[in-house]
Structure 1
Amino acid sequence: MKRSKRWTATSEEFMTKVCRTSGLGDDTYYPAEVATLTECDTLKTTYRGARAETEMVLFSSVAKLLTGLKLAPQQIDAVIVNCSSFNPVPSLAACVINHFHMRPGVKAYTLSGMGCAASIVAVELAQELLQNHRNMRVLICSTENITSSLYYGAEKSMLLTNCLFRLGGAAAVLSNCRKDKPIAKYSQEHIVRTHLSGDDAYNAVISHEDDNGHVGIKIGRDVMHVAGRALTMNITALAPLILPISEKVLYVLDGIARKVSKSKGPRYVPDFKTAVEHFAIHPGGKAVIDVVEKALSLQPRHALPNRAAFERFGNTSSSSTWYAWSHIETFGGVKRGDRLWQLAFGSGFKCNSAIWRALKPNNDQHDAWTGTPSC
């Protein structure tokens, strides 16, 4: 990026420092349009480059998924694509449908502007479709566009996205077809979505135009405080759905004791490890992972897949939890009956949780981690 000379020396120094201290590895991916910028390039990266980035991610991930499942594109009944910052006309869902020549009548949904937590929103939408239609397969695609999100200004709070966000994407199929039961890996058990209101939450992560007309994503100073509030509300709603009776009793007894003694100390934090074996936490950065690890009293081994995903791939926005999930399968394996907690934060401000249960043992070797080429 330094080759383009589009940033001041101060901005370049700041971005270099952030990248060096962020925990990012040396093998994260920028799209070609960004990686090859030179000082002769126009100020803005091109629309053509942004489209090429998104098409490359969507088409390759969907093709690999359908091939692995031995499904023809015509067997897909609905397509949900989420991408916050790049939303061309026709929509990205229409783009996928057209490229794979899917059948007429396939349902198309594109979710925009919903940030890093959008993938679980897509899962919930797919779940609602499956509850209302029989014998249906829903394709979910999650990605973010780095080319169109690049910020050329000098505000440090907006330069952060240049440093932390990277190219990535994921795809999955949800189905209620009986014939798919033998190949199904997980069942979806619970989804809890928390959306905070108020200016502090709304402005925590927001598209912004600086004084010089440069547009980017601004990350507010209060973002971790807001994320902590959202997480507390989310796990409070989720806990009764998944915790064993023993933990529920301890939590109630703690509440009674606090009321009797009028204690203002910290409340008893339930041990979620008694209910969940695996944690796919949004690897948005070291601070995000640290907050969740502390709040849930996780052990280092529980947080490892999320730290590894951030180091290897960076913040890939809504697809990031799927990278952490694939690390769990590749290196640790998942036993039949295990529960996995998919947890993500996003602009708005949102904290979303999805609980999945493994239907079979799973130690798939995902090429994102094994280094084998994808299709």
Structure 2
Amino acid sequence: MTPADLAALALTIKAWGRELGFDEVRITDVDLAHREAGFLDWLAKGYHGEMDYMASHGLKRARPAELVPGTVRIISVRMPYLPSTTSPDWREQEEARLAEPGAAVISLYARGRDYHKVLRARLQQLATRIGNETGPFGYRVFTDSAPVMEVALAEKAGLGWRGKHTLLLHREAGSMFFLGELFTDLALPSDIPTTAHCGQCRSCIDVCPTQAIVAPYELDARRCISYLTIELKGSIPLELRPLIGNRVYGCDDCQTACPWNKFAQASGLDDFDVRHGLDSAMLVDLMGWSEEQFLRNTEGSAIRRIGHERWLRNLAVGLGNAAAGILCGDAAMLAALKNRSSHPSELVREHVAWALMQHGVLA
């Protein structure tokens, strides 16, 4: 294809992407050499915790052409995920939920359908359309599913800038969106990066309950509540449990505090609409889910990946933290915990015993 043909194709790809539900589609080359030293330093500090997959592929994460030989361009996309019913004061509503000790707070992105499935399917549709236009071409689709430096690629493509919380930010969309990539051997014209607009703001750093953002643009995942409730497979460190509060799957604090998220966009897809009342669920009710109920109610959801055991672990921590307020010794909470005190899992029993102790009850 001639440069003119490739330029025209790039414009068509962006139009197709918008038709498929992506708010924006941009293109970049594969050179991430400027990110390699920082990534190696992050690994050397052990900030990745138990996420061994972050290190297992070495520098392939920063070298797309080594990960997928033949790749010369990355088509980077973003898709908003706030539910279609989201109100303008959604940030205030989320803060109110956090202040309600009996509430079970689940990260906004996980209340609907698993984003991996949604983005992967639509990126595949985009690739199919491209192939219909160009004939067979080399490509591979990614969405938080392989050793890909998504934020670095999206930043270089011009989808936004890397905020101090390490997430991507956009002036007209905040950070409440998913990223996805289509690696390709088509030499499409590259877009240019945008400028950063965090300035002197420290809102995300100051609000983090566990102070996981150890410096601007530097996250110690081992302290991050999203890591603790999702990635960590074992026992949650005792010193961090009280800081988790009633967050049982993920954490949005650094995003709700970010001034740019007043511009966050609701999704136009019903895939991300809330399922099973997860925006208003209570700790006691979720603790009562049997494994069968958990699997049924999380079918097609990102939550299912942690399994019922870690689900109960997280809920036990939330119920234990509720003892710090007027719910200390609450009969319904104590009953919910005692019902799990003889659970087959040692992990669950340990966290339930800890929670009961917070209520002044010996397991």
Structure 2 length normalisation: TM-score? Answer: 0.24
